[in-house]
Amino acid sequence: MRWIYAFDAADGLGRDLLGGKGFALAEMTRLGLPVPPGFTVTTEACRAYLAGQGLPEGLWAEIEAAVARLETQTQKRFGGTEGPPLLLSVRSGAPVSMPGMMDTILNLGLTLDGVAALARATGNPRFAWDSYRRFIQMYGEVALGVDAAHFDRLIEAKKAQAGVERDIDLAPEDLEELAYAFKERIREEGKTFPEDPWEQLKGAVEAVFKSWNNPRAKTYRRLYQIPDDLGTAVNVQAMVFGNLGEDSGTGVGFTRNPSTGEKGLYGEYLRNAQGEDVVAGIRTPEPLERLRIYAPDVYAELEKVAAILERHFGDMQDFEFTVERGRLYLLQTRSGKRTPEAAVRIAVEMAEEGLIAKEEAVDRVDANTLPQLLQARVDYARAPKPHLKGLPASPGAAVGHAVLTAEAAEAWSREGKPVILVRPETTPEDVGGMHAAKGILTARGGMTSHAAVVARGMGVPAVVGASGLVLDVEAGTFRLGDLELKEGDPITIDGTTGAVYAGAVPLVQGQGSQHLDRLLSWAEPFRKLGVRANADTPEDARKARELGAEGIGLVRTEHMFFAEDRLPWVRRLILARTPEEEAQALERLAAFQKTDFKGLLEAMDGLPVTVRLLDPPLHEFLPDRVALERKEAAGALEPHEAELLERVRVLEEANPMLGFRGIRLLLVRPEILKMQLTALLEATRELKAEGRDPRPEVMLPLVSGPEEVRAARALIDPLLEAYGLDVPIGTMIETPRAALLAGEIAREVEFFSFGTNDLTQLTYGISRDDAGAFAPAYLEARWWAFDPTAELDAAGVAELLRIAIERGRAANPALKLGICGEHGGEARSVRLAAELGLDYVSASPYRVLTARLAAAQAARRRERPVSV
């Protein structure tokens, strides 16, 4: 077994073996680009190490041979003290990009004797001691497990003692003292910093292997559904130095703007710095454009490099580079993280430029991110003057409670509170809190810092490098300029402009883009699966139609009953003591319902509108029992409230989800079914008389067998006949029994709509409302590969769908089939629906775009094959 491949000897090997970084370094070397020499330890070696075997047999001998080859290539000696020593970077590189989630060590091989040799060779003792203290700090954190905060405190103390604000202003003797202080801190932690370069290298390789299972990497894999068994490669590379002086530096570039998608070289650069300084957000860098002024030759070379990389890899590239005394070196390239807006624009414009086919552009965009193109924006007409401005790192606006730690963000979010994560800068350990937050605000860092890159990948609005932001995390306070706020106070951030506001600022909905319209126009010819919307109001229906919905797949009629002017009449119906009281309430509710139905049918004129009859139990329309009983105990209960309390106690159920609701309620209280159906038929007849084309459909909820459908049709069919209207009647398939008896049920109806929300809950035996108590643990432990309430379960729930589809169509070949649960707007679930042969999916209005694109992608390819 071979464990190592040099960059210039890895042709034809893929990312699975070399990892993304190793593969890219090998490709850039093959293209003749300026890449420092190095080698990759494969993912196979990592998997063997993590399996408990230690360093695999033969690996160390290969590493020694590979380092010897580097010595020959660079004319430097590893651990040498005569002339500048060969120093190495040791970086992780998983097969799937996981920015910032695993570990890096720079300047490896440096010793006290090596510092002196480096200072003599470069004539720059500050550079030598800066490199050494950086190495001790990285090695201490990554290989020895020392908390980074210890080193940060020592740096801050040294800057205060020296009277400077920036690391770069520390003198050589300050850095020398820091190096010794770092070593002492490591000793206090019971660890030993090795002075033997080979021991350093062994410890670094093992540390990178171990970083595959660090908490932040595991969290990232869970969030993005990356398999746990891939392992990471280790890339060992000859160091080049950006901290040799003002003619040196380090930067991150993008071949297109990762926020907007605009074509052109974009990025940031730090003079006299090392690579991790940019992405870590420790210093706020300059725009890359400035390099054109003080190093025009380097900038021109970068422009050529950007064009080569994009043409070769066929995608927008995110590349890291170092300039050492005016000479450019490339250290990494990968497909760049981008906002949903940028992803669409890049795909469309690359297709128009002939770099990729239009079909590839359709496949390339993550359909689940499209709703973010409709993200809220600040309503500038009503917004006050911002309290602060930072860098607009990830577009969109967010309002939430300010929280100062990632842990607080996760805790508040679990309670249903929207939060903005406010940090000095984010680190990879913050990824869980970043995912929980509605927005991210940092005091430091640039457009390519960790916060910016991760926020763009998540589609979360972010403002970074807000220099007027000052935090006191321990006190739970922060300042926006001169305004002091405390944790929990509401703030608003605008990731499109970089503005930060105290308080909740009015927002307006985004409108999509011309590039999105073009992409969808390319996608539509491929799409075979119909897309409808779940909508309960004419406004929602109009928005859904505007976004391309081909009808309404679910109208939840109960939502109409909760309006302020309707709820009292629902309660009168529930409390009615006489037939006259009941008839009066029904008459009033029928008038309300007719108006509602007419508005929906009018908005969807010429398209189907599927009306689900009343589904929830009646007690949901009554006040909370506990609140009423507290008033009763206090002697403050009004007479009408006493009557309500009595009825609440009668109707209350131990398990209402499985109780007196849906078809059961409609059959036991047929007057409700007749009222709703009459209102729908009246609305339809009036619209037809006006020359319109209403197309209503009626759907029965929570059916579990054919007997219920036959009983309901005995009530429905006479009314249809009386009105002379042909209205399709269907049923939701949301109980496992209904799925199993689909053949018998299909003989009684014209369509099925799978209510995958309840079907998932009943199949798993879980409640969505209570799953929060255990779902995070299940996802963390990978007992669930994904959240089944968000993504359709192919192995279990979809098997019930398949049974229902086969039996239903066998009994009724004309049967129409759809999905109306929230899964209808999730991309993988839409692809599964297409694979199962459904006629349509129905999603909330703002997820219609996702469903349309995912359906087109399903017709072209299977990005993630599913077996059912």
Q: Are residues 484 and 535 in the same domain?
A: no
Please report, in angstroms and rounded to a whole number, the separation of the first and last CA atoms in the chain: 37
pLDDT digits (tens, 9 = 90+) for 370-425: 887 888 888 887 889 999 998 888 888 999 999 999 999 999 999 999 999 999 98
Residue among 260, 237, 245, 27 at smallest CA distance from 130: 245
Domain end residue (candidates: 338, 359, 393):
338
pLDDT of residue 863: 45
Looking at the domain assignment, is residue 329 inside a domain? Answer: yes
**In this structure, what token pair is assigned to residue 66?**
């590979």
Q: With 0-12 CB in 10 A as exposed, 13-18 as middle and 19+ as buried, what is 659? A: middle
Looking at the domain assignment, is residue 515 inside a domain? Answer: no
Looking at the domain assignment, is residue 384 inside a domain? Answer: yes
Looking at the domain assignment, is residue 653 inside a domain? Answer: no
Is there a contact between 121 and 83 (Cβ–Cβ < 8 Å)?
A: yes
336 DSSP 8-state letter: P
Q: Tell me if 758 is assigned to a ligand binding site.
A: yes
pLDDT of residue 769: 66
Is there a contact between 847 and 825 (Cβ–Cβ < 8 Å)?
A: yes
pLDDT digits (tens, 9 = 90+) for 627-658: 676 777 777 777 777 777 777 777 776 677 78
pLDDT digits (tens, 9 = 90+) for 258-291: 988 999 999 999 998 876 666 555 667 899 999 9
Q: Are residues 605 and 727 in the same domain?
A: yes
Q: Tell me if 717 is assigned to a ligand binding site.
A: no
Q: Are residues 386 and 312 in the same domain?
A: no
**In this structure, what token pair is assigned to residue 203?**
């410890």
Q: Stretch 203-229: mean pLDDT, rounded?
A: 88
**In this structure, what token pair is assigned to residue 697?**
């459909």
Query: What is the H or E stretch that residue 817 is in?
Result: strand 816-819
Looking at the domain assignment, is residue 622 inside a domain? Answer: no
Q: Which of 77-81, 453-457, 842-846 has the highest mean pLDDT?
A: 77-81
Q: Tell me if 757 is assigned to a ligand binding site.
A: yes
Q: Are residues 457 and 548 in the same domain?
A: no
Q: Tell me if 214 is assigned to a ligand binding site.
A: no
Q: Are residues 540 and 500 in the same domain?
A: no
Q: Stretch 61-87: mean pLDDT, rounded?
A: 95
Q: What is the CA radius of gyration of the chain?
A: 32
Q: Are residues 272 and 314 in the same domain?
A: yes
Looking at the domain assignment, is residue 686 inside a domain? Answer: yes
Q: Are residues 280 and 307 in the same domain?
A: yes
pLDDT digits (tens, 9 = 90+) for 691-724: 999 999 999 999 999 999 999 999 999 999 999 9
Q: Stretch 4-20: mean pLDDT, rounded?
A: 93
pLDDT of residue 401: 98
Looking at the domain assignment, is residue 406 inside a domain? Answer: yes
pLDDT over 70 at 116, yes or no: yes
pLDDT of residue 219: 83
Q: With 0-12 CB in 10 A as exposed, 13-18 as middle and 19+ as buried, what is 339? A: buried
Q: Are residues 676 and 747 in the same domain?
A: yes
Rounded alpha-carbon distances, angstroms, from residue 656 to 97, 547, 652, 661, 666:
45, 35, 8, 8, 15
> What residues are annotated to the active site?
450, 820
Is there a contact between 397 and 508 (Cβ–Cβ < 8 Å)?
A: no
pLDDT over 60 at 613, yes or no: yes
- Buried b vs exposed e over 688-727: b needs ≥16 C-beta within 10 Å? eeeeeebbbbbbbbbbbebebbeebeeebeebbeebeeeb
Q: Say how far apart CA 271 and CA 266 lie, in whole Å.
A: 17
Map tokens 């669409």 to a residue.
344
Residue among 155, 106, 154, 113 at smallest CA distance from 131: 106
pLDDT of residue 144: 95
Q: What percent of the chain has pLDDT over 70?
A: 96
Mean pLDDT, the chain, integer = 91
Q: Are residues 325 and 384 in the same domain?
A: no
pLDDT of residue 690: 97
pLDDT of residue 866: 42
Looking at the domain assignment, is residue 682 inside a domain? Answer: yes
Q: Are residues 716 and 846 in the same domain?
A: yes
Q: Say how far apart CA 398 and CA 375 lie, in whole Å.
A: 9
Beta strands 499-502 and 462-464, pairing class: unpaired
Q: Could you tell me the pLDDT band of residue 257, with boundaries at 50, 70 and 90? A: very high
Domain of 402: which CATH number?
3.50.30.10
Q: Stretch 468-489: mean pLDDT, rounded?
A: 95
pLDDT of residue 350: 97
Judged by average pLDDT, the poorest of 86-100, 167-181, 675-689, 702-716 is 86-100
pLDDT of residue 867: 37
Q: Tell me if 734 is assigned to a ligand binding site.
A: yes
Judged by average pLDDT, the poorest of 42-56, 282-296, 337-351 is 282-296
Q: Tell me if 756 is assigned to a ligand binding site.
A: yes
Amino acid found at 807: R
pLDDT of residue 140: 96
Strands of 307-418 (E only): list them: 317-324, 327-335, 376-378, 388-389, 391-394, 397-403
Is there a contact between 517 and 428 (Cβ–Cβ < 8 Å)?
A: no
Helices (H), 395-546: 406-414, 431-436, 450-458, 514-523, 538-546
pLDDT digits (tens, 9 = 90+) for 554-588: 999 887 787 778 888 888 888 788 899 899 999 99
pLDDT of residue 168: 82
As for how many domains the chain has, the answer is: 3
Domain of 282: which CATH number?
3.30.470.20
pLDDT of residue 865: 45
pLDDT over 50 at 440, yes or no: yes
pLDDT over 50 at 752, yes or no: yes
Q: Are residues 412 and 457 in the same domain?
A: yes
**In this structure, what token pair is assigned to residue 151?**
């080193």
Domain end residue (candidates: 322, 338, 354):
338
Residue among 453, 437, 415, 447 at smallest CA distance from 491: 437
pLDDT over 60 at 862, yes or no: no
Q: Could you tell me the pLDDT band of residue 772, with boundaries at 50, 70 and 90? A: low
Q: Tell me if 213 is assigned to a ligand binding site.
A: no
Domain end residue (candidates: 338, 365, 393):
338
pLDDT digits (tens, 9 = 90+) for 509-546: 777 789 999 999 999 999 999 999 999 989 999 999 99
Q: Could you tell me the pLDDT band of residue 223, with boundaries at 50, 70 and 90? A: confident
Q: Could you tell me the pLDDT band of residue 743, with boundaries at 50, 70 and 90? A: very high
Is there a contact between 750 and 816 (Cβ–Cβ < 8 Å)?
A: yes
Q: Are residues 791 and 710 in the same domain?
A: yes
Domain of 798: which CATH number?
3.20.20.60
Look up the domain containing 473 and give its range: 376-509
Q: Stretch 611-617: mean pLDDT, rounded?
A: 91
